[in-house]
Amino acid sequence: MNYDGPIVLVVMDGVGLAPAGPGNALSLAHTEFLDYALKTFPNRPLAASGEAVGILPGDMGNSEVGHNALGTGQIVKQGIAKVEDAFKTGEIFKSRAWTEIIANLKQNPSEKTLHFSGIFSDGNVHSSLDHLEKMIRRADTEGIEKVRVHLVFDGRDVPPFSEPKYILRLENFLAPFNQKGRDYRIASGAGRMVAVADRYENDWGMVKKGWDMFHGVADRKFSSAETAVDELRKSDNTLQDQYLPPFVIVDDSGNHVGPLKKGDSFIYYDFRADRAIEIAMCFTYRDFPYFDRGKYSPDDITFAGMTEYNSDTHVPELQLVPPVSFDNALNTFLGEKGVSQLAVSETVKFGHITYYFNGNSYDKAQNETHLKIDSDTAPFDTRPWMKSAEITDAVLDNLEKYRFVRVNYPGGDMVGHFAEIEPTIAALEAIDIQLARLAKRVDELGGMMLITADHGNAEELLDGRGEAKTSHSKNPVPCIFYDTTKNRNKYVLNGFVSDPGLSNVAATVATLLGFTDFPETWHEPLIRIK
């Protein structure tokens, strides 16, 4: 096909399809453009969770695997599915990373400590509590005397006030080891939106709070993690797990029970990279300009990540599970064809529409440009429109220069994670306005828009009991062929794709751009030429 204007791929982050109801912000929002597009143009739902994006059956999708599938046209076993295999085969404990972590501790076992940290839940999006428990059990088998766990509370991929049950689970798990003479304890904690787990270098202050917490520095001190959560919620009973302030656990003398010190080993057990890379950089970078680490040197701590968090810089060097690899990403294919490309989003989703979309690489193809709009640092439920207008402005300013444009609007996900109906409605209505702006200019230029999402969230803000649901959903996502050109008569939906998913989008984009010689590793396009 030959379009006069660009092909625009719009990712409405976190906007899935579900029946109308009190928890479905999409059905409650006034979305004039989306309603019109769904009624007027070809569309079909796409699978965006479980095996359709390379993770375990029944697991909710996420932005990382969703953009991988969108941008590479492939389903590659990754995330929790890949890690689960490594535990089942025992390969994880044969890895260089595990070997060096344990060897370091055995040099002086009574003085050195094995530290763990990561998103603390069984949400299985960034991490798994099962994995933490398996590694602690193995550490005991290896004769490790001291273990400390630094909790990064979730409340985002699991219910917002659920951490007490996870604390109790871990305390009960650690008790038998301590009864036989080990010293395994929780050392500190903080919410994931307050400390440690920043992403895309949006707020290094968050990371510093986590760094300080690991080293025993925090304004709040408690005798146990359970007491900490109870006391913090007494002053604010609306305080969600993800926003709990940093604290450390102290003994009867007021001393921190487990500060990180020179010579220790540290495992960050997240398998998803976006909220792990910055803390890994803290441990591994020699030239570190982001905040003062004191007298720290990367030689001081033996640090390992669950996997590689940046495939371009290969951080961290020690990885318990080898990283996934993708060949023939869409951007590379189009670059070799001479297609000019533009990717635009704001900070909180910029890495998804660039790094993850491009198969876990920040390398740009020939004639590929990335534009980042700085995100607000204020809570997104207080500014639910986020940078939707500014993202659109940037796209409109550049639309005539590129044949393929991809854009991510984060509001459905970033606001949806608060599980607050009104702000999420506002986020979706803001996106709808911007889609109408984009559509008008795309029509003028003779292009088309493919509107989809990476996973669900905003359409399911209440669980089956009617309680707030902050996590992603397992629902399918929309895929709308907004096309007012004569090309619309040249293709039909591909009936041979019986179970379409996000991995069918790359070949679809290539087909719309006029290419049919795409890699054999890609899944079929969603359309066929008449």
pLDDT one-digit tens code per residue, 180-227 = 999 999 999 999 999 999 988 889 999 999 999 999 999 999 999 999
Q: Please say if the pLDDT value at position 312 is more than 90.
A: no
Catalytic residue among 27, 49, 63, 311: 63
- Closest by Cα among 24, 47, 22, 44 to 474: 47
Evaluate whether residue 433 is within a structural domain.
yes
Evaluate whether residue 317 is within a structural domain.
no
Evaluate whether residue 119 is within a structural domain.
yes
What digits encode the pLDDT tens for the residues 51-102?
999 988 998 999 999 999 999 999 998 888 889 999 999 999 999 999 999 9
pLDDT band of 109, cuts 50, 70, 90: confident
Q: Is 0.85 topped by the overall pTM? A: no
The DSSP annotation for 359-414 comes to TS--PPPTTEEEEEEPPPSS-GGGSTTTTHHHHHHHHHHHGGG-SEEEEEE-HHHH
CATH code, domain with 504? 3.40.720.10
Same domain, 28 and 157: no
Looking at the chain, the whole-number percentage of residues with pLDDT higher than 90 is 90
- Closest by Cα among 409, 423, 495, 444 to 34: 409
Domain boundary pick from 305, 334, 350: 305
Q: Give me the mean pLDDT over the 311-315 stretch.
A: 86
Please provide the average confidence, as pLDDT, over all residues in the chain. Answer: 95
Domain boundary pick from 244, 273, 305: 305
Evaluate whether residue 315 is within a structural domain.
no
pLDDT score recorded for residue 309 = 92
- Buried b / exposed e across 428-460, counting CB within 10 Å, b at 16+? bbbbbbbbbbbbebbbeeebbbbbbbbbbbbbb
Same domain, 383 and 417: yes
Strand partners, 499: none
pLDDT score recorded for residue 78 = 82
pLDDT score recorded for residue 79 = 80
Looking at the chain, the whole-number percentage of residues with pLDDT higher than 70 is 100
For β-strands 302-305 and 247-249, DSSP reports them as unpaired
Evaluate whether residue 2 is within a structural domain.
no
Going by the DSSP 8-state scheme, the letter that residue 240 receives in this structure is: -
Task: Give the type of residue at 362.
Answer: Y
Range of the domain at 93: 80-305
Q: Answer for the pair 460, 493: CB distance below 8 angstroms, yes or no.
A: no
pLDDT band of 110, cuts 50, 70, 90: confident
CATH code, domain with 210? 3.40.1450.10
pLDDT score recorded for residue 80 = 85
What digits encode the pLDDT tens for the residues 425-452?
999 999 999 999 999 999 999 999 999 9
Same domain, 39 and 116: no
Same domain, 265 and 343: no
Same domain, 71 and 176: no
Same domain, 437 and 505: yes
Strand partners, 118: 151
- Closest by Cα among 91, 34, 110 to 429: 34
Same domain, 468 and 359: yes
Evaluate whether residue 316 is within a structural domain.
no
Active site residue 63: yes
Structure token digits, residue 195: 């400390």
pLDDT band of 389, cuts 50, 70, 90: very high
CA of 389: how far to CAs of 34, 227, 263, 372, 395, in Å? 17, 44, 49, 13, 10
Same domain, 132 and 193: yes
Q: Please say if the pLDDT value at position 325 is more than 90.
A: no
Same domain, 453 and 522: yes
- Distance between CA atoms of 438 and 392, rounded to whole angstroms? 7
Domain boundary pick from 271, 305, 339: 305
Same domain, 364 and 296: no
pLDDT band of 324, cuts 50, 70, 90: confident
Helices 163-179/129-141 angle, 10° precision: 10
Q: Answer for the pair 530, 491: CB distance below 8 angstroms, yes or no.
A: yes
pLDDT score recorded for residue 258 = 93
Same domain, 294 and 376: no
Number of domains in the chain: 2
Q: Give me the mean pLDDT over the 152-179 stretch.
A: 95
Longest dimension (CA), the chain: 78
Cis peptide before 316 (omega within 30 of 0): yes
Evaluate whether residue 319 is within a structural domain.
no
Same domain, 210 and 282: yes
Evaluate whether residue 213 is within a structural domain.
yes
